Amino acid sequence: MKMAFISDIHGNAVALEAVLADIEKHHVDSIAVLGDLCYRGPQPKRALDRIRSLECPVIKGNADEWVVRGVREGEVPEAKLAMMNDERQWTVEQLESEDLEYLEQLPTQFHWDLNSHLKLHTFHATPESLFDVVLPHESPEHLQTKLMVEEDADLYLYAHIHLPYVRYVGGKCLANLGSVGLPFDGQSKASYVIVDADEERFRVSIERVPYDVEKVAQQYVDNGYPYAGMMRRVVQEAQPPS
């Protein structure tokens, strides 16, 4: 079985279409989405509609939760709270009530049997939280405690941090998808993961896909996105907002 996993689209429909075109070239059996569909991008409605048209498994991310109920104190630095709720309000205004209902009911994790030998556990940030941040350089013990809690799984995939990587810990594989719409590793290319499983063997690959970054940067301005200048820099530099 060959599966493509995408996440953190963040309303970047241009990057999403580039990734879906790339996935088609790989002839995968199925696609799954690990959250953060439309918040903080210039085309939230188009991105969400495109994801829904795939009719594939989708789980909830922290940004999807924020779209539904707002950003709360303690979830982001106090100095950024009002700004991020302004962005959230703009996003909600682009969506319909049925879109919000869809985001609200999304599950938070999936378990997959890749075949009779290999099991996969997927979630957005950690199995217990949509918000916890677990970075690539953490100790093996920390990764096992926070991310690799399902002992019968062979492979663990998550999203949230926008930093793609693959590590082998305790004889098992852990990978982060990076981000389709807002990569934070300095490479302004969309990121996603392909898992190719055959009997007891599997291969995990991080795919990087170029897209029209300047077009997306201009969309923030043309579509009236709040804090458009900040988000233009984020997509152009592939770095987190400062």
Spans of all domains in the chain: 2-237
Q: pLDDT tens digits for 101-135?
A: 999 999 999 999 998 899 999 999 999 999 999 99
49-61: average pLDDT: 98
Q: CA 174, CA 170: separation in Å to the nearest integer?
A: 10
- CA 92 vs CA 38, 187, 205: distances in Å: 10, 29, 34
2-237: in CATH 3.40.190.10:
no
Whether the CB-CB separation of 4 and 24 falls below 8 Å is answered with no
Q: Is the pTM of this model over 0.95?
A: yes
Assess whether pLDDT exceeds 90 at residue 78.
yes
Residue type, 240: P
| pLDDT at residue 242, as a whole number | 81
**CA nearest to 148, candidates 204, 60, 140:** 140
Phi/psi at 119 (5° precision): -120, 145
